[in-house]
């Protein structure tokens, strides 16, 4: 009877879905991590978008006034159009020189308005002076020029008032904050927190402090910021809430402690900096990057940020939509073949690792018998696996089973066309999870995963049955992350069909 009970317990344990390992956080850390946080907006992208908006707005005003007044009287002349674009481009340059393309300036009113009016007036004075010396003053309509100045100025003021309201709203929602955690809960950490909090118009939002010590050298709070846990907790904390910056308050002389911590933290998709505010050793000013007036030394930077992220997102959505459109007939044929081959749904969803270790649902064509489906991929598909259907063997060999992931790219936005392949959350090498088998495995999750990748076109796809295969995947994925560009993505995408035909020996 006892044997029967033990067998029943063992069967129940085997049937129970595996529990993912998650590090426990302190109550203070959980209180911060459970707060609702919205996606951040890049100040660099905002400033670039405002530059473009200024150029388009002023060009539209100048051309509209030209066609509405000058063309009706004296006909069309290309010289006016060239002058409008030249003046508009010069205005953007002057605005840049006046330092009004900064998010902190967008929040204000008087400072940006006075600088903008002065720069816009300077552009017209320069144009009038150039026209005088070129003896073109009599050929330029004075009424058009006056209207361009005043209407353009009114349009700029209206645009800036609208922008000010938007930026203030984003600031209230925390979209412009750099969510920061401090490493070092001692006097150095307290001085750093005080220095950051004392700055006006700072975008630094200090979430709390972490320390690797539990003795009396670690303070419970640093200038009002609570200690949230130990350094080992940072990785889990950063996966539960948005963290943009990790700032070390430790002195450079503590290099051994810093290196040990960096080995744990470099896998995160965040900026990591070393504060230099208390260091006696000083470098040239250009060696530092500044948080307000606080000098810092860059250690690691988050990959694919700002305009790079915008370009990659555009590439994914535009190219992905085009590929999806052309792939729809093939997908319909595959779906029909799966339906005719075995009972069950055509598609299935599988839990996989996404960006920053978040769990995402990835769509695939069903290649296993429905009653033997393995949504967590706890068992690796091997050669001649009896769970694989006849159609399943073909679509797995040719990677046609991955085509529904285009829906993830175009509609759900949790996959890229190109990136490290998203492994199943219970993916294992023998009895060890992948992150246990390879040091730094989670660093491949610093970018969004992809349908195809640098590792796949180099032959590292399919079954993982030895340590070299998973190590090589991680190695190629990290190379991709460090060397990313749109052209690199395009190259990988174009090479993928050839790689599928010539390097499919490990795909079962």
Q: Do the beta carbons of residue 183 and residue 247 sit within 8 Å?
A: yes
Task: Report the run of H or E that residue 299 belongs to, with start and end.
Answer: strand 294-300
- What pLDDT score does 374 carry? 67
What SS3 state is found at 189?
helix
Q: Are strands 450-452 and 432-433 parallel, antiparallel or unpaired?
A: unpaired
DSSP 30-72: HHHHTS--PPP--HHHHHHHHHHHHHHHHHHHHHHHIIIIIHH
Q: Determine the Cα–Cα distance for residues 425 and 400; give it in Å rounded to an integer.
A: 22
What residues have CB less than 8 Å from 420, skipping those under 6 apart? Answer: 444, 445, 447, 449, 450, 453, 455, 473, 477, 480, 481
- What pLDDT score does 375 carry? 65
What residues have CB less than 8 Å from 338, skipping those under 6 apart? Answer: 346, 365, 366, 389, 391, 392, 395
- What pLDDT score does 2 carry? 33
Q: Are strands 271-275 and 245-248 parallel, antiparallel or unpaired?
A: parallel
- What pLDDT score does 414 carry? 92
Spell 124-155 as b/e; 16+ CB within 10 A means b.
Answer: beebeeebeeeeeeeeebeebbebbbeebbee
- From residue 26, alpha-carbon distances to 22, 30, 191, 253, 285 in Å are 13, 6, 24, 29, 39
- What pLDDT score does 110 carry? 77
Domains and CATH numbers, the chain: 43-172 (no CATH), 177-300 (3.40.50.720), 306-502 (no CATH)
User: What SS3 string covers 198-245?
Assistant: CCCCCCEEEEEEECCCCCCCCCCEECCEEEEECHHHHHHHHHHCCCCE
Q: Determine the Cα–Cα distance for residues 204 and 245; give it in Å rounded to an integer.
A: 9
Q: Determine the Cα–Cα distance for residues 72 and 57; give it in Å rounded to an integer.
A: 22
What stretches in the chain show pLDDT beneath 50? Answer: 1-20, 508
- What pLDDT score does 373 carry? 72
Q: Are strands 271-275 and 204-210 parallel, antiparallel or unpaired?
A: unpaired
């Amino acid at each position: 009877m006892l044997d029967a009970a033990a067998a029943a317990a063992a069967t129940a344990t085997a049937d129970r879905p595996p529990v993912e390992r998650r590090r426990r956080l302190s109550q203070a850390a959980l209180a911060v991590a459970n707060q609702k946080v919205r996606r951040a907006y890049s100040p660099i992208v905002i400033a670039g978008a405002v530059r473009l908006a200024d150029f388009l707005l002023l060009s539209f005003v100048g051309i509209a006034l030209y066609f509405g007044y000058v063309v009706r009287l004296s006909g069309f002349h290309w010289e006016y159009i060239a002058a409008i674009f030249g003046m508009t481009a010069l205005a953007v340059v002057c605005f840049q020189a006046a330092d009004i393309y900064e998010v902190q300036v967008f929040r204000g009113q008087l400072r940006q308005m006075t600088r903008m009016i002065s720069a816009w007036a300077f552009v017209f004075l320069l144009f009038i002076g150039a026209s005088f010396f070129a003896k073109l003053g009599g050929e330029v309509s004075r009424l058009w020029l006056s209207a361009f100045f005043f209407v353009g100025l009114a349009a700029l003021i209206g645009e800036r008032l609208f922008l000010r309201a938007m930026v203030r709203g984003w600031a209230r929602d925390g979209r412009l904050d750099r969510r920061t955690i401090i490493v070092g809960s001692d006097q150095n950490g307290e001085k750093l927190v005080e220095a950051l909090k004392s700055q006006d118009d700072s975008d630094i939002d200090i979430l709390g402090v972490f320390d690797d010590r539990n003795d009396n050298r670690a303070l419970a709070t640093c200038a009002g910021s609570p200690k949230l846990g130990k350094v080992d907790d940072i990785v889990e904390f950063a996966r539960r809430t948005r963290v943009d910056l990790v700032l070390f308050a430790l002195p450079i002389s503590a290099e051994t402690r810093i290196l040990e911590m960096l080995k744990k933290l470099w896998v995160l998709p965040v900026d990591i900096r070393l504060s230099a505010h208390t260091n006696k050793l000083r470098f040239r000013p250009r060696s530092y990057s500044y948080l307000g007036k606080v000098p810092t030394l860059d250690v690691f930077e988050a990959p694919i940020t700002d305009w790079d992220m915008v370009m990659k997102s555009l590439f994914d959505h535009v190219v992905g939509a085009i590929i999806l459109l052309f792939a729809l007939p093939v997908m319909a044929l595959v779906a029909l073949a799966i339906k005719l081959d075995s009972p069950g749904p055509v598609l299935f969803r599988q839990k996989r690792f996404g960006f920053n270790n978040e769990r995402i649902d990835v769509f695939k064509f069903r290649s296993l018998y429905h009653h033997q489906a393995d949504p967590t991929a706890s068992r690796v598909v091997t050669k001649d696996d009896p769970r694989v259907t006849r159609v399943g063997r073909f679509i797995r060999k040719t990677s046609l089973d991955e085509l529904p992931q285009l829906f993830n790219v175009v509609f759900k936005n949790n996959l890229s066309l190109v990136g490290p392949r998203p492994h199943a959350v219970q993916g294992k090498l023998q009895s060890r999870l992948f992150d246990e088998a390879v040091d730094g495995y989670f660093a491949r999750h610093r970018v969004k995963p992809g349908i195809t990748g640098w590792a796949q076109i180099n032959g590292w796809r399919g079954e993982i049955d030895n340590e070299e295969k998973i190590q090589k995947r991680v190695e190629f994925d990290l190379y991709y992350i460090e060397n990313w560009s749109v052209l690199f993505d395009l190259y990988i995408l174009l090479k993928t069909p050839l790689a599928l035909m010539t390097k499919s020996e490990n795909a079962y």
